[in-house]
A and B are shown apart, each in its own frame.
Chain A
Amino acid sequence: EAGVAQSPRYKIIEKRQSVAFWCNPISGHATLYWYQQILGQGPKLLIQFQNNGVVDDSQLPKDRFSAERLKGVDSTLKIQPAKLEDSAVYLCASSFSLLTDTQYFGPGTRLTVL
Chain B
Amino acid sequence: GAVVSQHPSWVICKSGTSVKIECRSLDFQATTMFWYRQFPKQSLMLMATSNEGSKATYEQGVEKDKFLINHASLTLSTLTVTSAHPEDSSFYICSALLAGERTQYFGPGTRLTVL
Are A and B associated in one complex?
no
Give the interface of B toward A (CB within 8 A): none
Give the interface of A toward B (CB within 8 A): none
